[in-house]
Amino acid sequence: MLLVAVAVWIFLEVADDVLEGETRRFDEGVMLAFRSPTDTNDPIGAAWVEELARDVTGLGSVVVLALLTVASAGFLLLQRKRHLAVYLLLAVATGTIGSSLLKWGFDRPRPDLVAHGHAVYTSSFPSGHSMMSAVVFLTLGVLLATAQSKRVMQIYILAIAVLVTVAVGTSRVYLGVHWPTDVLAGWAAGSGWALACWGIADLLRDRGRIE
């Protein structure tokens, strides 16, 4: 719960600075660092790097996360872990609703500093890809990690979940479709949501509600 409080605090601090317009220099500086000095519409690296970024950003898309969530819930149901399956579906569904409401509430325009390297359809703050990647991958990571008896396996699984979450968020800035503060806020909100759901699941498990 302390980590949840820290995540909420980070989100609120970033959101407050964004609303007051104090993040413009930081956002522009980081975004331009991913661009060629001679052409701001050209991301740094070879053409395959940009294609790789699109592949990575796809891991945080609605379709991929939905398929992964449904497949994981189905796996849990086949293992007769109905409560965990419901917990997973509720965690992701409520996180999706929360992300949509935050986007609607802040209604921040997408970056106009560079050309977008990926099609976008919603407002910018917080980054939905970053937030939902944190919710889904961290929640699944925790479920898998807690099923392991060896600490090294638990650390490995959680490290992979964090790595994928960070990679998806970074790709959004690289492709020019999100300001860095959008991604930071998305990571904070998604991590806080996943940690809160983890805490609730532990509480229910202690009370015998979840196997």
- Residue 25 tokens read as 């220099």
Which residue type, as a one-letter code, is found at position 26?
F
Nearest-angstrom CA–CA distance, 62 and 128: 9
Single out the catalytic residue among 83, 116, 118, 178. Answer: 178
Which residues does 54 contact at the CB level (< 8 Å), separation at least 6?
117, 118, 171, 175
Collapse the DSSP code of 53 into the 3-class scheme (helix H, G, I; strand E, B; otherwise coil) and give the result. helix
Task: Provide the pairing of β-strand 35-36 with 39-43.
Answer: antiparallel
150 phi-psi bin (left φ>0, alpha ψ -120 to 50, beta other): beta
Active site residue 83: no
SS3 207: coil
Enumerate the active-site residues: 129, 178
